[in-house]
Amino acid sequence: MKFPIYLDYHATTPVDPEVLQTMIPYFTEIFGNAASRNHEFGWTAEAAVEKARQQIAHFIGAHEKEIIFTSGATESNNLALMGVAEMYQEKGKHIITSPIEHKSILDTCHFLEKKGFSITYLKVDSYGQVSPESVRNAMTPQTILVSIMAANNEIGTINSIGEIGKVCKERSVLFHTDAVQAVGKIPLNVESMGVDLLSLTAHKIYGPKGIAALYVRRRNPRVRLTPLIYGGGHERGMRSGTLNVPGIVGMGKAVELAQKEMSEEVPRIQRLRDRLWEKIQENLDEVYLNGHPTDRLPNNLNVSFAYVEGESLMMGMKELAVSSGSACTSASLEPSYVLKHIGVGEDLAHTSIRFGLGRFTTQEEIDFAAEKVVCIVKKLRELSPLYEMVKEGVDLKTVSWAAH
Amino acid sequence: MAYTTKVIDHYENPRNVGSLDKTSASVGTGLVGAPECGDVMKLQVEIDEKTHLIKDAKFKTFGCGSAIASSSLATEWLKGKTIEQALAIKNTDIVQELSLPPIKIHCSVLAEDAIKAAISDYLKKSKEIKTA
């Protein structure tokens, strides 16, 4: 086993060696600008870009002309929201989203609020799901866009995208989904799910960083976007800028591999994830799963280890690269807003750890991780005044804490 | 976050973990912080009736590595001190000893509060005994 063990696949993934091999020639030999229409160099680069575009489109049931390349999912999300807002503002200035979206959605929404748009942040349930009914109820004649993530990056909860898509179709409101975490983990089809815009990125699926895409529906309805970046009119005028050919080729290959591997990889990772959770539950009391028990990403496990603070937990298991919803691990000193919105108390939010499994995770690593976590939680509970008090029969809710 | 070796040492080998009999007249208990804030420290001191020196100190802490280290260090420093000397321990002394970064200063503040709370609990108890 190699240490530390990487269990943070929601944050990013290593580039698959096969992806890297495919990319390499595009840095040196096939270096042309895909927009050079007058020579061999440009044509070869363009052909490679178009192949990748087809691979990506095919993967989500789209047409290749509907794929716009961007620099990252943050840009894709920004472009979807700002592009629609700017283009359709005459029609209305109301957007519906959820409070547990990625910051690249939420921050863009806050910006749009300052620009005079009104944003509805739908309540999510205790698993982090948005009900299609609440989307319908929030719609007004001014609603121009609904943006709901396919799967949450912290707790792994999967939304009923198809159902929400149906509601949006009924009302002819555009529907965007941030599918960054869902791609390669659950089947996605923009037609059957009624999605008009979809963000996806390469580095979460064993492709390179710095390249992502936005699916933009071309028919029924034709979605138009005001660009964020102006210039040479690349990407149907929606995103100017010289194309990142090696990145695009890598993303295409990553998608191809994801598609090929999914049917084997997903059950394998899910088995390992379940194994980890079982081992934790067998050996520790007062551990709580955050997120949905079944409608969740196969590679995600988010657990609160009551009475043990997340950062101290991570410090005790340096052999594991995981992340925590604890305040101490964030620059803002605020615990996870996702956990807050699904009703996890701040006391438990501080004790949460996110395990993200991936393509290269082995059973040996999971067994080691489980043992390590159990051992360190037990050690820190020996150190925890809260655990001691609970064992003495004290109800922590009745204690008057001196907040600081 | 990169920790200093002193913080890691206290975290990995915490000194004086445990509990003293909180009902004893010679023991003062301080419980500070809140679970919602992500740190709670329980710090206890036992005072020798004859010498009036702190003869034992114990702690338990729910919190990050710096919080654990701050309280562990505090118990180390408390042993053998008079009440006046204990009350003179400042959070900045802890910051300096452990080289805590600015974002972790509140951990040292909490440790100072815990010392003061434990001593004041002891003083309250001994006053009650005298008046009784």
Question: What integer pLDDT is reported at residue A16 of this predicted model?
Answer: 98
DSSP A303: E
Residue A329 has pLDDT above 70, yes or no: no
Residue B76 has pLDDT above 90, yes or no: yes
Helix, strand, coil fractions of chain A, as percent rounded to 5? 40, 15, 45
Q: Which two tokens stand for residue A325?
A: 């919803």
Q: By the CB < 8 Å criterion, does B102 face chain A?
A: no
Spell out a b/e string for A47-74, using b for 16 or more CB atoms within 10 Å of the CB, else e: ebbebbbebbbebbebeeebbbbbbbbb
Catalytic: which of A109, A168, A328, A375? A328
Question: What integer pLDDT is reported at residue A29 of this predicted model?
Answer: 95
Question: What integer pLDDT is reported at residue A401 of this predicted model?
Answer: 85
CA distance A213 to A211: 7
Q: How many CA atoms lie within 13 A of A75 on its CB side?
A: 19
Question: What integer pLDDT is reported at residue A137 of this predicted model?
Answer: 98
Confidence of residue B3 (pLDDT cuts 50, 70, 90): confident
Residue B2 has pLDDT above 90, yes or no: no
CA distance A97 to A80: 13
Q: Averaged over A129-157, what is the pLDDT?
A: 98
Q: Which two tokens stand for residue B124?
A: 């309250």
The question of ipTM being above 0.85 is answered as: yes
Enter the pTM of the model: 0.94
- Residue written as tokens 């919190």? B63
CA distance A300 to A13: 14
Question: What integer pLDDT is reported at residue A24 of this predicted model?
Answer: 98
Tell me if residue B107 is catalytic.
yes
Q: Averaged over B94-115, what is the pLDDT?
A: 95
Please indicate whether, in this complex, the C-beta atoms of B37 and A315 are within 8 angstroms of each other: no
CA distance B33 to chain A (A): 6
- φ, ψ of residue A225 in degrees (nearest 5): -130, 140
- Which tops the pLDDT comparison, A328 or B76? B76
Please list every residue in chain A whose beta carbon sits closer than 8 Å to the beta carbon of residue B100. none
Domains (range + CATH), chain A: 5-9+262-377 (3.90.1150.10), 17-257 (3.40.640.10)
Please list every residue in chain B whose beta carbon sits closer than 8 Å to the beta carbon of residue A386. 35, 40, 62
Q: Averaged over A144-165, what is the pLDDT?
A: 98
Which stretches within A317-384 are classed as H helix?
337-341, 346-349, 363-382
Confidence of residue A330 (pLDDT cuts 50, 70, 90): low
Question: What integer pLDDT is reported at residue A334 of this predicted model?
Answer: 79
Please indicate whether, in this complex, the C-beta atoms of B1 and A311 are within 8 angstroms of each other: yes
Q: Which two tokens stand for residue A335?
A: 């615990």
Residue A403 has pLDDT above 80, yes or no: no
Strand-pairing partners, residue A303, are A289, A353
Nearest chain B alpha carbon to A312: B64
Of A290, A286, A304, A309, the residue nearest A390 (C-alpha) = A286
Q: What Rg do the C-alpha atoms of chain B give, in angstroms? A: 14
CA distance B56 to chain A (A): 17
**Length of chain A measured in residues:** 404
Q: Taking chain A, what is the end-to-end CA distance rounded to the nearest angstrom?
A: 43
Nearest chain B alpha carbon to A327: B38
Structure confidence by residue, pLDDT tens digits, A54-91: 999 999 999 999 999 999 999 999 999 999 999 999 99
Nearest chain A alpha carbon to B1: A329
Residue A160 has pLDDT above 80, yes or no: yes
Please list every residue in chain A whose beta carbon sits closer than 8 Å to the beta carbon of residue B65. 311-312, 315
CA distance A137 to A304: 33
Please indicate whether, in this complex, the C-beta atoms of A350 and B106 are within 8 angstroms of each other: no
Domains (range + CATH), chain B: 5-125 (3.90.1010.10)
Please list every residue in chain B whose beta carbon sits closer than 8 Å to the beta carbon of residue A382. 17
Please indicate whether, in this complex, the C-beta atoms of B64 and A308 are within 8 angstroms of each other: no
**Strand B39-47 to strand B27-34: parallel, antiparallel, or no bridges (unpaired)?**
antiparallel
Q: How many CA atoms lie within 13 A of A367 on its CB side?
A: 4
CA distance A95 to A82: 11
Structure confidence by residue, pLDDT tens digits, A253-267: 999 999 999 999 999
Question: What integer pLDDT is reported at residue A23 of this predicted model?
Answer: 98
Residue A136 has pLDDT above 90, yes or no: yes
Strand-pairing partners, residue A355, are A301
Q: Averaged over A41-59, what is the pLDDT?
A: 98
Average pLDDT, chain A: 96
Q: How many CA atoms lie within 13 A of B63 on its CB side?
A: 27
Q: Averaged over A118-126, what is the pLDDT?
A: 98
